[in-house]
């Protein structure tokens, strides 16, 4: 088989890319190692930047999101028992915070892609990249563990296979520069059957550690607490989780958290990571394959979509008109936005979490940062414009 673009990974990056290329009349195939049910069932990010919402609507993919998503005009920062509202819409000319879970986005994109006749192979194994320095890179794989090896010849390979995928490793180590911070804390996240405790997200910085109140639907709530990333989820009974959530989230106003049965829980580690370059020959990395942000700024999914928007434009210019500028500028153009998102995610993370390895000096600076951000309109505006998403040109 031959395809203009071979995409590895059916996460947000791979699926958005396939749709964007299809809109330009460019065919692709997606190879995904997990089953469709797994991909559609994995609980991850929750917040979409305003331009991603606009893009989904522009692409005709936003119907369910507009119906079932939650649109908030602001968020609350809570510390020292006090609550401070950040009115994002007022500070950013009407941009909002949209809560619509990543796996719902994924479900919508997979359904629409298959309906358009697009090819997504789920459950493949043994994915290998070949000849990325040539004009005809190839991907070999098996449709299932004991199926024969097949090969797809491509003009380009898009490595959208997340942090642990094979694509980044296919770039020779000598031309790859990697930058990383591994944080000494992680997030324990739960889904609970309960009504919303508040009409917007609450980010809390507390002497016992960070906590976050988010939502999924009128009956399902999403909550997180900072924990040791090496801790075992078995050590966390529902009662212990609720007790920490109450301590960290409640303020002096008498507001209280509504509990409900926990039906999903897990612990994730946190890192900041950037791979420079994002391109080698005919291989282009996008999304988590090239960079990781800690979740505090809610940037991970949004950044993956930003990459493939740039990539789709670059591939279209080359495949349609032979114009190579977009391909040559891909890495630098993406990395500018990525470093700003890395900066914001690192700022939100270090400001809001308790880091046992930090000096009391650094801890006091984070408290001053919080104090400043809720009392200075300039600082608050800076937080808001990053949170709702820095400007991104979206195609008509």
Residue 180 vs 375, nearer CB to ligand FAD: 180
- By CB under 6 A, name the one of 6, 165, 209, 389 that touches ligand FAD: 165
- By CB under 6 A, name the one of 49, 108, 161, 250 that touches ligand FAD: 161
Question: CB of residue 46 vs ligand DHB: minimum separation in angstroms?
Answer: 2
Identify which range of 149-157, 164-172, 236-244, 295-303 contacts ligand DHB by CB under 6 A.
295-303
Long-range contacts of 81-90 (CB under 8 A, 24+ apart): 81/251, 81/252, 82/251, 82/252, 83/202, 83/251, 83/253, 83/255, 84/374, 86/374, 86/380, 86/383, 86/384, 86/387, 87/384, 88/384, 88/387, 88/388
Show the tokens assigned to 121. Answer: 């192979």
Can you tell me the distance from the alpha carbon of 14 to that of 308, in angstroms, rounded to the nearest whole number?
8
Q: Which residues lie below 8 Å from residue 303, measured CB to CB, with a gap of 6+?
A: 287, 291, 293, 337, 338, 341
Q: Which does 301 bind (CB under 5 to 8 A by kind): ligand FAD, ligand DHB, none?
A: ligand FAD
Site string for ligand FAD, 251-290 (x = CB under 6 A): -----------------x------------------xx--
Q: How far is CA 303 from CA 58, 59, 386, in A?
A: 18, 18, 12
Strand partners, 203: 77, 212
- By CB under 6 A, name the one of 118, 137, 186, 295 that touches ligand FAD: 295
Query: Does 137 contact ligand FAD by CB under 6 A?
Result: no
Q: Which does 211 bind (CB under 5 to 8 A by kind): ligand DHB, ligand FAD, none?
A: none
Residue 209 vs 287, nearer CB to ligand FAD: 287
Question: CB of residue 58 vs ligand DHB: minimum separation in angstroms?
Answer: 24
195 catalytic residue (yes or no): no
Can you tell me the distance from the alpha carbon of 102 to that of 137, in angstroms, rounded to the nearest whole number?
31
| Active-site choice (183, 203, 330, 347) | 203
Helix (DSSP H) and strand (DSSP E) numbers for the chain? 11, 19
Q: Which does 222 bind (CB under 5 to 8 A by kind): ligand FAD, ligand DHB, none?
A: ligand DHB
Query: Does 13 contact ligand FAD by CB under 6 A?
Result: yes
Listed in sequence order, the DSSP H helices in the chain are 12-23, 36-41, 50-58, 63-68, 88-91, 102-115, 238-249, 300-321, 325-352, 360-375, 377-387
Identify which range of 20-28, 44-52, 282-290, 361-369 contacts ligand DHB by CB under 6 A.
44-52
Can you tell me the distance from the alpha carbon of 270 to that of 294, in angstroms, rounded to the nearest whole number?
5
Residue 294 DSSP code: -
Q: Which does 55 bind (CB under 5 to 8 A by kind): ligand FAD, ligand DHB, none?
A: none
100 catalytic residue (yes or no): no
Query: Does 223 contact ligand FAD by CB under 6 A?
Result: no
295 catalytic residue (yes or no): yes
Query: Does 250 contact ligand FAD by CB under 6 A?
Result: no
Nearest to 138 by CA among 110, 176, 170, 175: 170
DSSP β-ladder status, 283-285 and 149-159: parallel
Can you tell me the distance from the alpha carbon of 223 to that of 213, in angstroms, rounded to the nearest whole number?
5
Tell me if 301 sits within 8 A of 285, measured CB to CB: no
Query: Does 33 contact ligand FAD by CB under 6 A?
Result: yes
Show the tokens assigned to 113. Answer: 């892609």
299 catalytic residue (yes or no): yes
Q: What are phi and psi of 305, to 5 degrees?
A: -70, -40
Identify which range of 31-39, 146-154, 334-342, 372-380 contacts ligand FAD by CB under 6 A.
31-39
| Active-site choice (22, 70, 299, 353) | 299
Q: Which does 102 bind (CB under 5 to 8 A by kind): ligand FAD, ligand DHB, none?
A: ligand FAD
387 catalytic residue (yes or no): yes
Query: Does 298 contact ligand DHB by CB under 6 A?
Result: yes
Question: CB of residue 43 vs ligand DHB: minimum separation in angstroms?
Answer: 8
Residues 70 to 109 in contact with ligand FAD, rule: CB under 6 A: 102
Burial class (CB in 10 A: 0-12, 13-18, 19+), 37: exposed
Name the residues that contact ligand DHB, by CB under 6 A: 45-47, 99, 201, 212, 214, 222, 295-296, 298
As annotated, the active-site residues are 72, 203, 295, 299, 387
Binding site for ligand FAD (CB under 6 A): 8-14, 31-34, 39, 44-46, 102, 127, 160-162, 165-166, 268, 287-288, 295, 298-301, 304
């Amino acid at each position: 088989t031959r395809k203009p673009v071979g995409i590895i990974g059916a996460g947000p990056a791979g699926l958005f890319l396939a749709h964007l290329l299809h809109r330009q009349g460019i065919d692709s195939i997606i190879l995904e190692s997990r089953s469709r049910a797994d991909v559609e069932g994995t609980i991850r990010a929750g917040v979409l930047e305003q331009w991603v919402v606009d893009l989904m609507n522009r692409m005709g993919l936003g119907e369910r999101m507009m119906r079932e998503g939650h649109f908030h005009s602001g968020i609350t920062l809570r510390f020292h028992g006090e609550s401070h509202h950040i009115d994002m819409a007022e500070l950013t000319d009407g941009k909002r915070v949209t809560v619509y879970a990543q796996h719902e986005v994924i479900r919508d994109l997979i359904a629409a892609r298959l309906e358009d006749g697009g090819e997504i192979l789920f459950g493949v194994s043994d994915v290998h990249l070949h000849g990325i320095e040539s004009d005809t890179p190839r991907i070999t794989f098996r449709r299932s563990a004991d199926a024969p090896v097949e090969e797809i010849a491509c003009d380009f390979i898009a490595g959208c296979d997340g942090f642990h995928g094979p694509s980044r490793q296919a770039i020779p180590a000598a031309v790859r520069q990697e930058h990383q911070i591994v944080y000494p804390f992680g997030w324990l996240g739960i889904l609970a059957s309960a009504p919303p405790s508040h009409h917007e997200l609450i980010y809390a910085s507390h002497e016992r550690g960070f906590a976050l109140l988010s939502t999924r639907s009128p009956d399902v709530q999403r909550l997180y607490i900072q924990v040791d990333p090496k801790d075992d989820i078995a050590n966390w009974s529902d009662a212990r989780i609720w007790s920490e959530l109450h301590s960290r989230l409640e303020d002096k106003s008498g507001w209280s958290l509504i509990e409900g049965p926990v039906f999903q829980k897990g612990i994730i580690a946190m890192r900041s990571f950037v791979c420079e370059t994002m391109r080698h020959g005919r291989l282009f990395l996008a999304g988590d394959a090239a960079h990781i942000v800690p979740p505090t700024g809610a940037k991970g999914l949004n950044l993956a979509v930003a990459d493939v928007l740039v990539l789709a434009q670059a591939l279209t210019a080359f495949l349609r008109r032979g114009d190579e500028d977009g391909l040559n500028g891909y890495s630098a153009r993406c990395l500018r936005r990525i470093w700003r998102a890395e900066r914001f995610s690192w700022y939100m993370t270090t400001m809001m979490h308790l880091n046992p390895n930090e000096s009391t000096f650094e801890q006091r600076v984070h408290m001053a940062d919080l104090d400043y951000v809720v009392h200075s309109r300039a600082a608050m505006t800076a937080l808001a414009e990053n949170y709702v998403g820095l400007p991104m040109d979206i195609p008509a």
